[in-house]
Structure 1
Amino acid sequence: MTHRFLAVAAGIAAALLTPAVPAAAVDPAVCHVGYQTNGDSSSFTAKITITNTGPATLYGWTLKFSLPAGQTFRLGFAADFKVDGQDVTGYSLKYNSEVNRGASVPVGFYAAGDAKGPRPAEFRINGYLCTTG
């Protein structure tokens, strides 16, 4: 065997045995959430507008957020809401589960607490952190 053949074979073997380095995990902004409240110091209605800013249509979505201390979820609308303490999860319904790129879907809830109190710190859709504002 020639030295050149051995060098090429060693290079191929090294390439095949070296694990690929995964690309850095990217959490692209695939959603934007608008949050508006209306009410008084004892109760309020919150309107949440979910906008798909991602590259593809959403087929089913799950919204997650946590209410600040002093606010209590009472009743939700336009999603199937589940509440565990301050943690709120909303699941899309059949009629609003498909959200095209650039489209929005409104959901909301009624809560006890001050309408001018703090907002949830973050909103996630299907695990992705959404932009807010």
Structure 2
Amino acid sequence: MNRFWAAKAALVSAGLVGLASAAVAVAMPAGAAAAGCSVNYAVSSQWQGGFNGDVSITNLGDAMSGWTLTWSFPAGQTVTQAWNATVTQSGSAVTAKNVAYNGALATGGTASFGFNGSWTGSNPVPSSFALNGVACTGGTTPTTPTTTTPTTGPTTGPTTRPTTG
């Protein structure tokens, strides 16, 4: 084989190796854990100035050993008593944390808790919730990127053409 074809074959081989490396880098997952949840919030009873709230969390992501659910009340409601969770409130921001016996949530697992609350004027339902810092959308999202990009592109061949002899 003359030098021209040998150089061309080497160039094609180098390009294919570079492209194959890039394809492998993009296709390999980074071992990401999935996070996701759905929340069912219901006012099970209501009276002038007070209400009973029932909350059910379903873990749609990877199993977890502890949970914290956060939300904000839109109209100044206040939690006055809770059960099956430790609930704290600062302004409209509410934080509910698991208790010792309901912290483990398997994938598809559910934890429920309830509370009594007070309200004035109106008692609208909160519009969004987050479980362990991840918005509860009813689906899952990876907690880390699942693909990586190549750090270098394919190599290029020589800038001068070899001479034939």
Change over 3 Å in CA distance of 1:13–1:56 after alignment to 2: closer
Is the counterpart of residue 69 in structure 1 residue 86 in structure 2?
no
8 Å contact kept, 1:40–1:115: no
SS of equivalent residue, structure 1 residue 3: helix
Change over 3 Å in CA distance of 1:55–1:88 after alignment to 2: closer
Q: What does residue 98 of structure 1 align with?
A: 104
Change over 3 Å in CA distance of 1:104–1:115 after alignment to 2: farther
Q: Distance in 2 between matches of 1:129 and 1:114?
A: 27
Structure (1 or 2) with the greater strand fraction: 1
Change over 3 Å in CA distance of 1:31–1:114 after alignment to 2: farther
Q: What does residue 7 of structure 2 align with?
A: 2
The normalised TM-score by structure 2 is 0.60
* Aligned ranges 1:46-85 → 2 under 5 Å: 46-52=53-59, 54=60, 56-85=62-91
Deviations 1:10-61 (A, max 9, x none): 33235547974999xxxx8943322222121201121112233x26543211
- Once superposed, which parts of structure 1, at least 4 consecutive aligned residues long, lie more than 3 Å away? 13-23, 55-58, 100-103
Which stretches in structure 2 are left out of the alignment for 5+ residues?
1-5, 139-165
CA RMSD of aligned residues (A): 3.2
Q: Distance in 2 between matches of 1:114 and 1:46?
A: 15
Aligned-partner residue type, residue 37 of structure 2: C
Is the counterpart of residue 13 in structure 1 residue 28 in structure 2?
no
Change over 3 Å in CA distance of 1:103–1:81 after alignment to 2: same
Match of 2:47 among 40, 44, 52: 40
8 Å contact kept, 2:73–2:92: yes
Q: Distance in 2 between matches of 1:77 and 1:115?
A: 25
The normalised TM-score by structure 1 is 0.72
Q: Distance in 2 between matches of 1:104 and 1:2?
A: 64
Change over 3 Å in CA distance of 1:95–1:121 after alignment to 2: same
The number of residue pairs the alignment matches comes to 126
Q: Distance in 2 between matches of 1:119 and 1:130?
A: 16
8 Å contact kept, 1:65–1:89: yes
Change over 3 Å in CA distance of 1:60–1:15 after alignment to 2: same
